[in-house]
Amino acid sequence: MTAVTEHSAAKTLNEQLGERDLAARLALVASLGGRAVFTTSLGIEDQVITAAIGLNRLPIDVATLETGRLFKETVDLIDETEERFGIEITRFHPQKDDLDEFIARYGLNGFYESVEARHACCGARKLKPLARALEGASFWITGLRRGQSGNRADTPFAEYDAERNLIKVNPLADWDLETINAYVADNAVPVNPLHARGYPSIGCEPCTRAIKPGEPERAGRWWWENDEKRECGLHVPEAAIPSLNSSSL
């Protein structure tokens, strides 16, 4: 399929998804043909999507990026979630050569020293494993919500991702936290205990802190950086991350 037809398909899908509930949104994507992959970070939004896939037995692959720097609570939750919903969550790990190269150049925790080093670490531990997780996929399902941060405020239900040549689907784009919490309670969805300790958004342990009352949901991610639009690179075009392009990682 060409980029033009993919754009057009994504636009049509975006309109169709808005009219459906979560299970129907996911079922529609699964029915379109082509491999659909959901990547979960085990955050509360992602747990809702995993629950909907598992409870409705939808033919969608579930994958996670096991970066090697996750909280123990997050790693434990992978097993618990598989058991609760009877599904398999495929773990994608960073490759040793990439980690060796990063550590030799920046040091294990060199990501605190510069944005370039931080993007290089995310490149090795997240972006490269993500590329492997999405190999051959036609659809990439994520738990992005418009309410998570200012730069996610325009998140569509579906959009063409030219870089990865697939359609990215965000079935919770219009959900608020209240709706998320209600779904979790109604469906006995296991959630990361860190959420109750002030971590609404949970990534790698050295790069995530609890937030203070009134702070934005993602204020605890890479808190030492000043850029309001800080992201790990999973959900921004690679061209917008100069240090990833200049790095071999």
- The annotation places the binding site at 121-122, 204, 207
* 8-state DSSP, 137: E
Q: What is the 3-state secondary structure (H, E, C) of 166-214?
A: EEEECCCCCCCHHHHHHHHHHCCCCCCHHHHHCCCCCCEHHHECCCCCC
Residue 218 within binding range of ligand SF4, rule CB under 6 A:
no
Q: Which C-beta is closer to ligand SF4: that of 156 or that of 203?
A: 203
Give the whole-angstrom CA distance, residue 56 versus residue 221: 32
Binding-site annotation, residues for [4Fe-4S] cluster: 121-122, 204, 207
8 is annotated as an active-site residue: no
Give the whole-angstrom CA distance, residue 201 versus residue 211: 9
Binding segment (CB under 6 A) for ligand SF4, from list 2-10, 115-123, 144-152, 235-243:
115-123
Q: Which C-beta is closer to ligand SF4: that of 52 or that of 204?
A: 204
Convert residues 154-183 into a mask of x (bound to ligand SF4 by CB under 6 A) and - (unbound). ------------------------------
* 8-state DSSP, 139: E
Return the amino acid letter for 57: R
Give the whole-angstrom CA distance, residue 173 versus residue 210: 24
- The H or E element containing residue 89 is strand 89-92
Q: Which of 38, 92, 106, 111 binds ligand SF4 (CB under 6 A)?
A: 111
Q: Which of 25, 84, 125, 152 binds ligand SF4 (CB under 6 A)?
A: 125
Residues 6+ apart with CB under 8 A from 149: 216, 217, 218
Binding segment (CB under 6 A) for ligand SF4, from list 8-16, 33-41, 119-127, 138-146:
119-127
Q: Which of 25, 118, 168, 218 binds ligand SF4 (CB under 6 A)?
A: 118
> Residues in the site for ligand SF4, rule: CB under 6 A?
67, 69, 111, 118, 121-122, 125-126, 203-204, 206-207, 232
| Active site residue ranges | 232
